[in-house]
Amino acid sequence: MSFAGPDPVRVALDAAVRAPSPHNSQPWRFEVDGDRVGVFLDPDRILKVADPDGREARLACGAAILNVRLALRAAGRTPVAHLLPRRDVPEHLATVWARGRVTPTPDDVAMARAIAYRRSNRRAFTAREVPVWVRQALVRAATEEGAHLAVVGRAAQLDELGVLLREAERLQREDLAFQDELRQWTAPDGSRDDGVPASAAGSGPEWPFDRKPLVAVLSSYTDTRLAQLRAGQAMQRVLLRATTAGVSVSFLSQPVEIPALRAAVARLVSAPGNAQVVLRFGYGFAAPATRRRPAEVVTRYTVHG
C-alpha cells in the first residue's frame, strides 16, 4: 500500500476496509464528499446472535476510523475526526476530514504500513515470550486513544480466564442459533470477499495457557456508542503497534460476547469500566489474510453540479 499517491482519500478507504471485524463481517460503509469521509454502520452486517446490540460492529468501525486517520496522516494530510456527528442518523458513526498538509513522522508511516500486514492469527504461538518493552508499548497505544489495556499477569488470573473461556465456548457450542450464524460466516477458501475461510480456523479456547502467551483485556471507561468507537480505535492502534513489533495477535471473543462473562472478565483484571476485547499476543507463524470487499463496493461518492 503506497501513501504517496495523488488521492489520499482513496488510499484511506483502501486502508479502512482492512480493519478487523467479528467473523470478518465488515459492518461498514463509506460516503465521500471531496476531502470528507463519512463512516457508517451497516446494520445488515451486525451479527444478530453473537453481537445483538452491535457493540462489536462499532468496535470494528472504530478500527476502520483509525485506519482512515493513519492513512491520511501518512499521506501528508492532517486527519480531523468527528465521532457521532448526527444524532438523527445513528448509523453515521464518524466524519473524517483530510485537512492541511503535515509532514508524517517515521512512526506515522510505519503504523500506516502495518495496516496491510496486520493479521488475526488464530493458530498456535511459539514459546517465545513478548518482551517488556513491547508490553509497555501496547499499553501506551491503548492509552493514546483513551482506553485501558490490562495485562492478565498472574497465574491465578490466567487460570480464571481459562475457566471463563471454556464456559463461553461451551455456551456458544450448545447455542444452535450461534452455531448456525457461525456457519453462515464460514466459507470455503476464496469463495467470497467476507466471512472467515475454513483454513483460518485456529485451535479454539483450548489453545491455552500451555505456552503462556501474553493475554490482555482492553477496556473503556463507559459503554456508550461513543466509548465503543473510541475503544475500537484503541484496539486497532494496539493491533498495529504489535504488528510493527513483529508480534502476532488473536482475539478471544467468546467471554465478551456473553454479558455475564464479560462482566467477570472486567472484574478479573480490575478494569475501569467495561471489558471490550480480550487479546492474546505472542510469536506465531505466518497467518493468511482474510479477504475484504473492495473499497469501491462499500463507498458512495457525492456528485455535485
Mean pLDDT of 183-211: 68
- Which of the pair, 77 or 123, is modelled with greater confidence? 77
Give the integer Cα–Cα distance in Å for 66 and 237: 7
Q: What is the DSSP letter of 154?
A: S
DSSP string, 15-34: HHTTS--GGG---EEEEEET
Locate 286 and state its grid cell: 505466518
Mean pLDDT of 81-107: 96
Mean pLDDT of 285-304: 87
Helix/strand/coil for 248: strand
Mean pLDDT of 164-180: 96
pLDDT at 124: 80
Query: Using an 8 Å Cβ cutoff, are 134 and 216 in contact?
Result: no
Helix/strand/coil for 245: coil
Nearest-CA neighbor of 146 among 79, 66, 240?
66
Domains of the chain, CATH where assigned: 8-118 (3.40.109.10), 132-282 (3.40.109.10)
Give the integer Cα–Cα distance in Å for 120 and 290: 9
Give the integer Cα–Cα distance in Å for 195 and 53: 20
**Digit-coded pLDDT (tens) for 2-47:** 555 569 999 999 999 999 999 999 999 999 999 999 999 999 999 9
| Segment among 29-33, 120-124, 141-145 with least mean pLDDT | 120-124
First to last CA, the chain: 32
What is the overall mean pLDDT for the chain? 91
> How many residues can be counted in the chain?
305
pLDDT at 189: 66
Locate 243 and state its grid cell: 504488528
